[in-house]
Amino acid sequence: MTISSFLFAEVKLESGDLSVLKQAGEYAYVEIDWSKAQVVEFDRSNNVDKSHGTVDQYNKAQGADWVRDWPELKRFIVNCTAWEKYPARACFNKKNKKGTLITVPPVVWNEYAKTQDDDLKSHCIWVDPAKAKYKFVLTVTQVDMGSGTASVFGMSMNTGGAIICGKLKLIDIKTGKQLAVISVDHCKGIGNYSQRTRLMDVVVGEILGNVAELIK
């Protein structure tokens, strides 16, 4: 089950070129667009078993605390894309440490730039995103939020992990030119009781971690 689930996970260069990311001394940041995402539950064959509507509709159905916590959860995920090291699997910055590095995006910089929480900053590359040359824009089309219960009682480390489908675009910030498009097809992260950890892992460890492998 562990092997088959990882075979479903695909991050492929659809068009363009990622070689610019070999440049040392340059920075990129990540934005995630959840506005088009449909929350679903996939079966073992990655067919949609249940649909829950948009992320907003899903959160409202879960309760007021889910609605309240969602903005901070989104900031947490993009903050973690700027990690320099990752405890479970290598993140983009660890794999591409001699090339372009991912820093925090504007939404995180504006919220956290004055924070006194050293632990929040200690894991990340904390460079003003105004200095970034590129940005990754991940548009999520489908997301399976995963299952905390399955993660606790599962037989493999990715049981109950979150799954994301969508497109990842690399854009030159100054010119607005689209440099590459990457398909994201049923990428699955590790299982965890915490929803934010499940979503963070699939973005940081699975999607962006594997983008670094595509740089030629």
Quick one: pLDDT at residue 117? 66
Quick one: pLDDT at residue 152? 43
Calculate the alpha carbon distances from 5 to 47, 113, 153, 162, 197 in Å.
Answer: 13, 38, 17, 12, 19
Cβ proximity of 186 and 10 under 8 Å: yes
Tell me what the mean pLDDT of segment 32-39 comes to. Answer: 97
Cβ proximity of 206 and 11 under 8 Å: yes
* Share above pLDDT 90 across residues of the chain, in percent, rounded to a whole number: 70
Domain enclosing residue 95, as ranges: 2-214
Task: Please give the tally of structural domains in the chain.
Answer: 1
Tell me what the mean pLDDT of segment 48-71 comes to. Answer: 95
Reported pTM:
0.88
* Share above pLDDT 70 across residues of the chain, in percent, rounded to a whole number: 86
**Least trusted range by pLDDT, from 20-24, 67-71, 110-114:** 110-114
Quick one: pLDDT at residue 159? 59
pLDDT tens digits, one per residue of 158-209 = 556 899 999 999 999 999 999 999 999 999 988 877 888 899 999 999 999 9
Cβ proximity of 42 and 48 under 8 Å: yes
Quick one: pLDDT at residue 194? 86
Task: Report DSSP letters for the chain, one per residue.
Answer: -HHHHHHH-EEEEEEE--GGGG-TT-EEEEEEE-TT-EEEEE-TTS-EEEEEEEHHHHHHHH-HHHHHHHHHHHHHHHHHTTBS--SSS--HHHHTTTS-EE---HHHHHHHTT---HHHHHTB----GGG-SEEEEEEEEEEE---HHHHHH-SSTTTT--EEEEEEEEEETTT--EEEEEEEEEEE----SSHHHHHHHIIIIIIIHHHHHH--
For residue 48, pLDDT over 60 is answered with yes
